[in-house]
Structure 1
């Protein structure tokens, strides 16, 4: 089968197209899946660049969507022909988090989905939403479930709440779509007026250009009559957290899910305490949460926003686009 492997040291030039042995037929509790799509995440880019060291020859990409070709003994959840999507933590099926690293995550601790076929435990997949293409389904594993857990599972989002989303990457766009579908008011930020027009077309109620309004936390408070938002989806990290605290209401909920501005920095603990806010760090979610999200998606008109699509062998070009940060929504591989 055709696959992409990352050779050491990391770097986009070290993503190599290779021919590997077919993984064969599934054993007990396993399924064989023909992979047709994957999508790019910040985590995947970090692995590809060597910022998150992986084993030499690792097959990258944590997201995978495809069709079941065969099932092993003891598998009752799937049958050949089912369209499926992978899970980020294949061994975290339900309950509270039990892992604090990426040792079981495809594309990092184990081989990922930049390949044509995989044989994995059946519990490493869920069914894809009905009516979704492979490309659309492939956006759900990481970005979709992160937004769902941040707002619905941890934040207990309800109609009438206000939500702040930062930027126009995959998680933020999913959060916008989910919040609007559930009856929330959404404020979105970006450095691009063109992108802000696009988020308005997706339903954003208010938009802020953070380059022309550097104190955007105050602007959010102004837009909410001084109260602040109920939920902030914080994808920036150190450079944006202070403004997010200012933008969020007293007792509000901040989901800390990204490190786009760095992996360490000052935390304004006094402001966080004074406003009595919940700062909740999270990484994606479990299989049960993914199943709940898919049921919700099937009851709404939400479809992922895909910016560009690349062939498998052009993965390095796709990562180069992601690194530049010019995309809106998700970048996808189809093969």
Structure 2
């Protein structure tokens, strides 16, 4: 396959996704330990909205946005071994997070925030960042894995992996939340999902979720969680709401349970009530995506259970700003994808 010298890419100026700029750029040859990927699909996440507005911490200026891409290898650096032209791959969210804990140095290799991302036709990435896309998934489905799926997997199967019979509470029905439900169910857990939309809760039920709660109709949803668990509380919580939902999560979690802090889409400025957190011996764990090793482990689980990502809507490359607007509207269930090739 011939690889072009001039390719198209988007750049975020930091003044809103409405001003994403599609432009031409020169594609360099891959370095000795890099590969060139032809991007077929990119999925969006809440972080991409922050980057587009210039409010993501320490973001690079005039950046190629987006961290979650899937494509095929079209060129190999001279020292690359174990990969071939045509392999279907995703680069990891943080290019240098191969295994173990995240570090400040690893964080600086985060695609689409600290370093140029994947909202472009071709990208060169280090070979150590590559993960194969499960064979049963399309490129569009594969593009949803690097952030949303891996974040959910890291929460469910981190230092204390959930086990069969555990109760898992999942806030919302966005990308991380839907993957959290699928992974928890595949791991034998009983899952509770909250949403303000009965339509979105029906999608969760269709995935096999055992308990759903509409938090608009039931403002005391934390008490309902306690009822479902016989007063004990849940073992794990996928917490994407942030300050405004934290107090109810602290009430809903069991003593010595885990609250996996992933997002802050509900806003607010409440702090964690420290005495209560101590009295319940709660573990709060901030989740910053995951490593290549965890990505590979997760893909084995997805393959074993033939789990398919929930892709809500697909936009063309030229419709990137419309895709961002749809994500911001929060009408989506699961993932919003931009298709290139």
Q: TM bucket by the smaller chain?
A: over 0.9
Aligned residue-pair number: 333
1:5 is matched with: 11
The reply on whether 1:26 has 2:36 as its aligned counterpart is no
Superposed structure 1 runs of 4+ greater than 4 Å apart: none
1:54 deviation in Å? 3.6
Find 1:142's aligned residue among 129, 139, 147: 147
1:169 is matched with: 174
Provide, for residues 87-131 of structure 1, a one-character-per-residue CA deviation record: whole Å limited to 9, x for no partner.
111111111221288532111111111101111111122111112
Unaligned runs of 5+ in 2: 1-6
Find 1:158's aligned residue among 160, 163, 171: 163
Distance 2:17 2:252 in 1: 37
Tell me the secondary structure at the aligned position of residue 194 of structure 2. Answer: strand
Note closer, same or farther for the CA distance 1:240–1:145 as it changes in structure 2 (3 Å cut). same
2:335 is matched with: 330
Please give the root-mean-square deviation of Cα atoms over the aligned residues, in Å: 1.4
**Aligned ranges for residues 13-162 of structure 1 at < 5 Å?**
13-23=18-28, 25-52=29-56, 54-99=59-104, 102-162=107-167
Question: TM (normalized to structure 1)?
Answer: 0.96
1:264 deviation in Å? 4.1
Distance 1:122 1:310 in 2: 29
1:216 deviation in Å? 1.0
Distance 2:187 2:287 in 1: 21
1:67 deviation in Å? 0.2
Distance 1:175 1:224 in 2: 19
Distance 2:226 2:63 in 1: 46
The reply on whether 1:278 has 2:283 as its aligned counterpart is yes
2:3 is matched with: none
Provide, for residues 145-203 of structure 1, a one-character-per-residue CA deviation record: whole Å limited to 9, x for no partner.
00000011234111111100000000000010011111110000000111111111111
The reply on whether 1:299 has 2:304 as its aligned counterpart is yes
Worse-matched range after superposition: 258-267 or 168-177: 258-267
Worse-matched range after superposition: 97-106 or 308-317: 97-106
1:210 deviation in Å? 0.7
Distance 1:3 1:177 in 2: 33
Task: Tell whether the 8 Å contact from 1:162 to 1:186 is kept in structure 2 after alignment.
Answer: yes
Find 1:229's aligned residue among 234, 248, 252: 234
Distance 2:191 2:43 in 1: 25
1:207 is matched with: 212
Distance 2:217 2:242 in 1: 20
Question: TM (normalized to structure 2)?
Answer: 0.94
Provide, for residues 50-74 of structure 1, a one-character-per-residue CA deviation record: whole Å limited to 9, x for no partner.
2226444311011111000121122
Distance 1:282 1:240 in 2: 17
Task: Tell whether the 8 Å contact from 1:10 to 1:47 is kept in structure 2 after alignment.
Answer: no
Unaligned runs of 5+ in 1: none
Distance 1:32 1:264 in 2: 43
Distance 1:320 1:100 in 2: 32
Distance 1:3 1:302 in 2: 31
Task: Tell whether the 8 Å contact from 1:155 to 1:231 is kept in structure 2 after alignment.
Answer: no
1:311 is matched with: 316
1:290 deviation in Å? 0.8
